[in-house]
Amino acid sequence: MLTKVIEQAKIDRFARWMGHAERIVIVAHVAPDGDAIGSSLGLWHFLNSQDKTVNVIVPNAFPDFLRWMPGSKDVLLYDHYKEFADKLISEAEIICCLDFNALSRIDAMADAVKAAKGKKILIDHHLYPEEFCDITISHPNISSTSELVFRLICRMGYFNEITKAGAECIYTGMMTDTGGFTYNSNNREIYFIISELLSKGIDKDDIYRKVYNTYSESRLRLMGYVLSQMKVYPDYHAALISLTRNEQGRFDYIRGDSEGFVNIPLSIKDVVFSCFLREDTEKPMIKVSLRSVGTFPCNQLAAEFFNGGGHLNASGGEFYGTMDEAKKVLERALEKFKPLLNAKG
């Protein structure tokens, strides 16, 4: 049995909305990851089963390794179909905001969602949610939004309506936001939920292969290159990897190719903090990805030095400047956080 994580009143209210609504839009964060797409499509499959007209809209493209997901071809990319998406958003009776905590995280879609007249519900697990929805279901202690979607559907009494396709999407989000159940994954209820998803006929081993083992040769070579350039800071229990636009060009880089790289330095004994700096292909900025093991709060470092945020062990931010400048900022951050980096825990 699952603990009742989501407040009953919120579930009842959403169920009431759903009973009356025809047109529903689901939106998730920019540069959507497995949990953004997984939770959105998980909810999409369920709402489809209730004969709603449902559309998933995300700000921009998601990586190729998520394209096998059932329903992914119907996900609307806002940067390609702005006009159509704006119409759907403005006409929706309900807008479900998934896997983000602030309107700024949906980039160019923020204005349309903010202005929309439809009722809004937030379903998310990031800290400090902004108040922009009528219902805010925010549980930072739950490791994925996909898990929250599963909990919501079940609590509304619709476990039987979850299809194999929906279960595959939910499982994918739970898996990717925990690094294949290697972090934020000690809550035993996660495994109860997995067991329930397996009862829908999903093949979890196959999902793992589709997400993690379908890369190109050039991606693996890029990984080798990036690691060969890695800088380790033994005194700070930290490591830094980076990727410039120029280097991306040399390895036929496509979006998503560096997914997961930031986790690799954490496999070094005694490294508890990893930073990955990558020059963005679209905006003139450096995308900062941070990971930690144990108690080191990379979200604090992200907020203080890289205008970002996120979770204790997985956060990110943006840096406007050169790669060398970004590295210097990181080194200043390491100095400032040295006591925490050296703390046992």
Q: Which residues bind Mn ion (CB under 5 A)?
A: 35, 99, 145, 177
Residue 314 binding: pick among ligand 5GP, Mn ion, none (C-beta 5-8 Å cut-off by kind): ligand 5GP
Q: Which is nearer to ligand 5GP, 81 or 320 (CB)?
A: 320
Residue 71 binding: pick among Mn ion, ligand 5GP, none (C-beta 5-8 Å cut-off by kind): none
Query: Least distance to Mn ion from the beta carbon of 125, Å?
Result: 6
Query: Least distance to Mn ion from the beta carbon of 212, Å?
Result: 17
Cβ atoms of 103 and 110 closer than 8 Å = yes
Q: Rounded to 5 degrees, what angle do the CA atoms 215, 258, 265 make?
A: 110
Q: Which is nearer to Mn ion, 242 or 263 (CB)?
A: 263
Residue nearest to ligand 5GP (CB): 316
Q: Which tokens hold the place of 171?
A: 């499982």
Between CA 154 and CA 150 the distance in angstroms is: 6
Q: Which is nearer to Mn ion, 35 or 259 (CB)?
A: 35
Residue 124 binding: pick among ligand 5GP, Mn ion, none (C-beta 5-8 Å cut-off by kind): none
Between CA 41 and CA 191 the distance in angstroms is: 21
Q: Which tokens hold the place of 4?
A: 């009742």
Q: Which is nearer to ligand 5GP, 207 or 301 (CB)?
A: 301
Residue 129 binding: pick among Mn ion, ligand 5GP, none (C-beta 5-8 Å cut-off by kind): none
Between CA 87 and CA 44 the distance in angstroms is: 18
Gap between the terminal Cα atoms of the chain: 31
Query: Least distance to ligand 5GP from the beta carbon of 153, Å?
Result: 22
Q: Which is nearer to ligand 5GP, 38 or 309 (CB)?
A: 309
Between CA 258 and CA 281 the distance in angstroms is: 12
Between CA 153 and CA 65 the distance in angstroms is: 26
Residue 309 binding: pick among ligand 5GP, Mn ion, none (C-beta 5-8 Å cut-off by kind): ligand 5GP
Report the DSSP beta bridge partners of residue 120: 95
Residue 126 binding: pick among ligand 5GP, Mn ion, none (C-beta 5-8 Å cut-off by kind): ligand 5GP
Q: Which is nearer to ligand 5GP, 55 or 144 (CB)?
A: 144
Residue 310 binding: pick among ligand 5GP, Mn ion, none (C-beta 5-8 Å cut-off by kind): ligand 5GP
Cβ atoms of 121 and 133 closer than 8 Å = yes
- Of 207, 141, 217, the closest CA to residue 180 belongs to 207
User: Which residues, including other chains, have CB under 8 Å from residue 328's CB and lie 6 or more apart?
Assistant: none
Compute the half-sphere exposure of residue 66: CA atoms within 13 Å on the CB side of its CA: 30
Q: Which is nearer to Mn ion, 93 or 99 (CB)?
A: 99
Q: Which is nearer to ligand 5GP, 102 or 156 (CB)?
A: 102
Query: Least distance to ligand 5GP from the beta carbon of 317, Å?
Result: 5
Residues near ligand 5GP (CB under 6 A): 33, 126, 262, 289, 308-311, 314-318
Instruction: Tally Cβ neighbours within 10 Å of residue 27.
Output: 32
- Residue 68 identity (one-letter amino acid): W
Query: Least distance to ligand 5GP from the beta carbon of 118, Å?
Result: 25
- Of 59, 35, 56, 34, the closest CA to residue 47 belongs to 56
Phi/psi of residue 261, nearest 5 degrees = -55, -40
Query: Least distance to ligand 5GP from the beta carbon of 332, Å?
Result: 19
Query: Least distance to ligand 5GP from the beta carbon of 106, Å?
Result: 12
Query: Least distance to ligand 5GP from the beta carbon of 110, Å?
Result: 14
